[in-house]
Structure 1
Amino acid sequence: MNPNRTEEGTEKLDQKLFRESVALEIIEHGPPFSYAEYEGSRRSNRILNPNVEFFSRNTLKAEVLKVHNKLKEDLKNTLHKLSSRICLTSDMWTSCQNRGYLSLTAHYVDENWKLCSKVLNFCHVPPPDRANNLCGTIHGLLRDWGIEKKIFTITLDNARNMDNMQELLRSKLVQQDGLLSRGAYFHIRCSAHILNLIVQDGLKVLGDALEKARESVKWNSTYLMLERFLLYVNAFKILPTEDPTFLMEDLPTEEELHKIEYICNFLKPFYDITTLFLGVDYPTANLYFENVCKVRSNLLKEIESPDSCLREVAKAMKEKFDKYWNEHCVVLAFAVILDPRFKLKFVKFYLKKFDDNFENKAKSILDKLKALFKEYESASSSSGGNCDIQGGGKELDQSLIEFQSYESDDSTSSNKSQLELYLEEPRVLITMPYDVLAYWKDNYARYPELATMARDIMTIPITTVASESTFSMGGRVVNQWRSSLTCKNAEALITTRNWLHGYTTKDDRSKATHVSISSLSQQASNVVD
């Protein structure tokens, strides 16, 4: 008799595997825990195998938490073994239950030099969401994960409480000797928020024309809304004859249409740049400097435009831009220097366009980069120069360590550092797209400490899109039909789904717009959808 069959000839069912399968179904597709008690579901399963043993919603909750805890331990071990620094993004979200949730996401490069993004926590933060409360919460989460001494940067929006929080958190981490350069490069402002603020100031010039177009084309993205409006403007002109509720005075005038056409063309570069910045599966830090400089170049050009409307828009936007340009992150200039297509000459090229003192500013950036590199050299010396990145997570044997040390000594016999040697090499051919992490992986043997620093800098996310994508998941899990879902179970469902499937599943990928882009409409609604 086949041991895998019952006396009735039915295949035996692994009940443990069945419970886990249902738990994974709940995590991936989001039905409620009561799904375990649906009579229709039970009837279908009974047809497939009469020996199935059904279980309650409470058992299903426990099974989901078991999966969550197992994957959390796996991720914790991965983060513990990382030789790279970890960059964070964080933001706050209010659910339909009027509860405040904090999203904390880790960004790092794994042993195969691939950029990874994992939602660590999606936890309820009771009011008030003041800086000290948020700081205490995030610091506690970092300690729980055991990564409080591995942090490099945190990317946040421009909310005042988040600004104050990062100051308190930086102070705590510096006291624990957990940040490089005493946290000088810890705080990164979300570039999508900044672009949004810049564009908002410019669009005030449009006045009623913008609102008329928006009433005709309901769209979160101002650029896409104007693009669609202009495409169908002739149809809108005859719409009042077909639809009495649509009045002629609701349409922009010819003068207003002229403004809309100019502004639509003007906003396209902002839309393209913001979309580029929203990537989560490729480095974006090295894209920042070039594209922010392009924005400023466009504004300076349009200030001289013969069109008075465009001049007015560009002037308003430049005033806002200059405020943030003066605060731009030096560490993101480091990223373009460590992109072998560009290096320091690229920084000088763009600074020269805007500043007569560009040589001194470029020198200041380079001096700060050299100071940061010395910290990486010191860290390597104190650890004996044994870094396991190139070994794919395995320690190098002694002969390879000695060879690596010999090669490093030989290449620096002229008393030049790895950074200086790298900068003296010819730039590589400019190509788009370009895998900058692959370059540093291939050149790790020649420049071990420099590659280590470059890897960490390229990990920095320049937007909070990861948090916004998490909030999209949160909105599907914590909704009006699941208002009694506990915060603990909500966090388990959202984080585990991310660990298993990233920010999308097959269901999500069938949609026309990627979740990370569509969810950002709240923070950059004037630029992208």
Structure 2
Amino acid sequence: MTPPMAFRRFGLAAHLYALVVVLLVGYAHALTHDGQILLRFKANLLNPEDVLPSWNKSDDTPCAWVGVRCNANTSRVTYLNIPYKRLSGSISAELGKLTQLRRLVLHENRLVGPIPLSIRNLTFLRTLYLRGNALSGNIPDELGELMNIEVLNTLRFMSSRRDFCAKVMDPYELDNESKEANLNALVAFVMDHQQAFNLVENETFRSLCRRLNPHYSLPSRQTLTRSLSDHFERALLQFRSTIDSIKGAIALTQDCWSSRVMRGYMVITVQWIDEEWKLQSVVLEFRYFPPPHNQHTTSDLILSVVKDYNMWSKIKAIISDSGGEMPPAMVIVRENLNDQYSLRLEDGFHIRCICHVINRAVYDATHFIKKEVQMLRQILKAVRGSVAIRVKFSELAVVLGVSKGRVEVPGLDMETRWNTMFTMIDQSFQYRGVFSALCNSEEFCDRLANMALSDMDWRVLKSCKDFLQSAYHCTVAASGRDYISLSLQPLIYKHLLTLCEKTRSGQLDTGFTTPIIKQAATAMELKLLKYSANLNCQASKMALLLDPRSSNASSETMELKDQLRFILTMDYGLCSEVQPSPTFGVFDLFAGEGDSAIENVAHTDEVDDFFMLTAKADRRVSDVLLWWKQHSNRFPTLSLMARDTLMIQGSSVASESAFSESGGFVCPDRSKLSDENIEMMMKLKSWNRLFRE
């Protein structure tokens, strides 16, 4: 073969290859059939580039074009919604080939010509808006074959068919699907914002709805009430499915409460950590709980809820208040679940709320300063109850240099909440000179002289404030419901015991104390010691161990290492051939004499690796769950235990928060609400919040 002939054949082959590549590339990036139909519709318009610039033939699908919506799975066009665009031209008959179209909205444009007969092919069409154009002719009789159509708006046409005229509606008229969605949204609004059912009878609200859409008809109060039950049943099914899908363990918090109308309720909330390592907390039960409130009635209610939601296999702990009936009630619950379902729930199954324990300890402590606190309340009531005295108080505060601007008289406390008493004392102490001057003023001397606090009274109150400040901050730290708090229990217990010891010995950083406060410290210490086993239970110790913000280098945490490995092996299937931990401490790993031991144990399994990593507390960690999410691949088995441990809360704040939210439902103004409706509304409010996330 001569070279020229070979070159010619090679060139021909190269051209064919290039042609195939071009065809394949063109085919791979071809616009879908529905997209090509829309481009032909656009070509029929006189000004398409002005109003439809995003309709580009270089796209793979039209799904991102203005006014176009597609089926997510098939990319077929289902909505064409381009009203008020000043489109000029005629409606292309090509639209009849969009066989999956459900909504065609072209009203208030400048379209001319007849309605294409091909529209009859859109058998799935439910909504057709053509009003406000310059279209000619009558509505084609063939459109009567569209059996699924619900809304037809062609107000400027004369129809030759009466049955079609009956379907002519305003474009803002709601179809059945929209009405149902609006009713569900109204129910959610009533739940979330604790509105009364007679809201729909309020003329101002009705007027607002009419202005938003004159064709929207509010449901009656009876319909809204019935819709609550329907909405609840649907949400209940969804919530049960959510509970069933939880892969890890769950914990419950429980508390009881008496409303302002003197009715008792029990609330149970459920906590778990989801797959994204987010702590979830939801109302599980909110039920009227009449007397007697004893260990049997309490345990019966808790067991009925656990079994009703079929969560017995997932439950790991219950956090409760410090009521006297709770320990025996939790024993009954634990033994019943163990016997009936062959579980291995142990004593640590019951977690006492740290905030309730602090409250009881502080209550015993403040018994010794009742006189001084009552005197402070008395003078505050006098100041706050008289406009003239308040004005004088403000003037004296400015004159004495205590305040340069607006003066706020300290607020009174709620006698059942010690943290408000602490705030009252804290705010009042800066005005002690103002109170003294006020009581000695000629204007109010007769009324206030016998209310004056002595220097010793103020000293007692100041030392009380200094003593309780740590307890106040500890309560605030443990009161969150959106972050882990069980690991704080041992730390708070140890911190408050140290505080009591320093106070009794006069070693507080504030520099002085009083004999009365030393007595108060002794009383608090005795109460804390009573709860030592509860606040230092196995679960709280493991939570502290798994918290990267704490150091695992102490001898106490090293003693838990083998227990941790045993739990991981028995409950989580950890495969480890590591022998019991050697006697040296973790700090030895960083010393010269421990170097030989490192070679034997470093990175042998997840437990050793974790102890190495957390030998030093990482104070930079602000989100413990985020830390575990980031380290879950490094500790695949240990992270499962962390998820099932850290979701246990150290307080029952989640339940108390539910009581706070119920104030709009359980009040004298809503006395007609049945207990069943209150229960449904409280659950729905919490569940809807979960579903929206």
Into which bin does the TM-score normalised by the smaller protein fall? Answer: 0.7 to 0.9
Distance 2:284 2:525 in 1: 38
Per-residue displacement from partner, 1:140-189 (whole Å, max 9, x unpaired)?
A: 2122222111001111111122222111111111124475x432321000
Q: What displacement does 1:415 show?
A: 11
Supply the AA of the counterpart residue of 1:264. Answer: K
Partner residue, 1:233: 432
Distance 1:48 1:65 in 2: 27
Partner residue, 2:213: 49
Q: What displacement does 1:88 show?
A: 0.7
- Contact kept, 8 Å, 1:148 with 1:178, in 2: the verdict is no
Per-residue displacement from partner, 1:340-390 (whole Å, max 9, x unpaired)?
A: 3434334x4xxxxxxxxxx6xx67655544443333234x79xxxxxxxxx
Partner residue, 1:196: 359
Partner residue, 1:101: 265
Distance 1:491 1:476 in 2: 13
Distance 2:623 2:552 in 1: 19
Distance 1:490 1:29 in 2: 14
By relative contact order (CA 8 Å, sep 6+), the higher-ranking structure is 1
Partner residue, 2:643: 455
Distance 2:319 2:604 in 1: 34
Of residues 135, 139, 144, the one that matches 2:299 is: 135
Partner residue, 1:271: 472
Q: What displacement does 1:468 show?
A: 0.9
Q: Please tell me whether residue 60 in structure 1 is matched to residue 224 in structure 2.
A: yes
Supply the AA of the counterpart residue of 1:438. Answer: L
Of residues 544, 559, 579, the one that matches 1:336 is: 544
Q: What displacement does 1:47 show?
A: 3.3
- Contact kept, 8 Å, 1:84 with 1:456, in 2: the verdict is yes
Runs of 5+ unmatched residues, structure 2: 1-129, 132-150, 156-167, 381-410, 415-419, 507-511, 576-599
Q: Please tell me whether residue 345 in structure 1 is matched to residue 533 in structure 2.
A: no
Q: What displacement does 1:321 show?
A: 1.8
Distance 2:267 2:346 in 1: 22
Q: Please tell me whether residue 320 in structure 1 is matched to residue 527 in structure 2.
A: yes
Q: What RMSD over aligned residues (CA atoms) do the two structures have, in Å?
A: 2.7
Per-residue displacement from partner, 1:471-518 (whole Å, max 9, x unpaired)?
A: 11122211101112011111111121122347xxxxxxxxxxxxxxxx
Per-residue displacement from partner, 1:18-58 (whole Å, max 9, x unpaired)?
A: 32222122112112111122233223323333322332212
Supply the AA of the counterpart residue of 1:49. Answer: N
Query: How many pairs does the alignment contain?
Result: 458
CA distance 1:98–1:219, change in 2 (3 Å)? closer
CA distance 1:336–1:245, change in 2 (3 Å)? farther
Distance 2:256 2:446 in 1: 40
Q: What displacement does 1:9 show?
A: 4.3
Q: What displacement does 1:138 show?
A: 1.5
- The aligned runs of 1:287-298 (5 Å cut-off) are 287-298=488-499
Distance 2:292 2:191 in 1: 30
Q: Please tell me whether residue 418 in structure 1 is matched to residue 606 in structure 2.
A: yes
- Contact kept, 8 Å, 1:330 with 1:365, in 2: the verdict is no
- Contact kept, 8 Å, 2:436 with 2:453, in 1: the verdict is no
Distance 2:233 2:181 in 1: 17
Of residues 252, 255, 265, the one that matches 1:91 is: 255
- Contact kept, 8 Å, 2:269 with 2:654, in 1: the verdict is yes
- Contact kept, 8 Å, 1:170 with 1:186, in 2: the verdict is yes
Supply the AA of the counterpart residue of 1:238. Answer: A
Secondary structure of 1:182 counterpart: coil
Q: Please tell me whether residue 208 in structure 1 is matched to residue 371 in structure 2.
A: yes
Q: TM-score, normalised by structure 1?
A: 0.80
Secondary structure of 1:98 counterpart: coil
Q: Which entry has the higher C-alpha Rg, 1 or 2?
A: 2
Supply the AA of the counterpart residue of 1:35. Answer: L
- Contact kept, 8 Å, 1:377 with 1:449, in 2: the verdict is yes
- Contact kept, 8 Å, 2:360 with 2:527, in 1: the verdict is yes
Distance 2:368 2:460 in 1: 10
Partner residue, 2:126: none
Per-residue displacement from partner, 1:225-246 (whole Å, max 9, x unpaired)?
A: 1101102222222334455795
Distance 1:4 1:113 in 2: 49
Partner residue, 1:397: none
Q: What displacement does 1:297 show?
A: 1.5
Runs of 5+ unmatched residues, structure 1: 349-358, 382-411, 503-529
Q: What displacement does 1:323 show?
A: 1.8
Distance 1:144 1:426 in 2: 41
Q: Please tell me whether residue 300 in structure 1 is matched to residue 464 in structure 2.
A: no
Q: What displacement does 1:259 show?
A: 1.0
- Contact kept, 8 Å, 1:203 with 1:313, in 2: the verdict is yes
CA distance 1:372–1:244, change in 2 (3 Å)? farther
- Contact kept, 8 Å, 1:340 with 1:427, in 2: the verdict is no
- Contact kept, 8 Å, 1:239 with 1:246, in 2: the verdict is no
Distance 1:433 1:205 in 2: 40
Per-residue displacement from partner, 1:259-283 (whole Å, max 9, x unpaired)?
A: 1111111111111111000011111
Distance 2:446 2:266 in 1: 43
Distance 1:414 1:209 in 2: 60
- Contact kept, 8 Å, 1:185 with 1:331, in 2: the verdict is yes
Partner residue, 1:351: none
- Contact kept, 8 Å, 1:151 with 1:178, in 2: the verdict is no
Supply the AA of the counterpart residue of 2:310. Answer: G
Of residues 169, 173, 184, the one that matches 2:333 is: 169
The structure that is helix-richer by fraction is 1
- Contact kept, 8 Å, 2:256 with 2:264, in 1: the verdict is yes
Distance 1:186 1:128 in 2: 24
Distance 2:614 2:275 in 1: 28
Distance 2:277 2:483 in 1: 11
CA distance 1:30–1:326, change in 2 (3 Å)? closer
- Contact kept, 8 Å, 2:481 with 2:654, in 1: the verdict is yes
Of residues 627, 637, 652, the one that matches 1:464 is: 652
Distance 2:197 2:539 in 1: 46
% of aligned pairs identical?
Answer: 25
Q: Please tell me whether residue 376 in structure 1 is matched to residue 537 in structure 2.
A: no
Secondary structure of 1:89 counterpart: strand
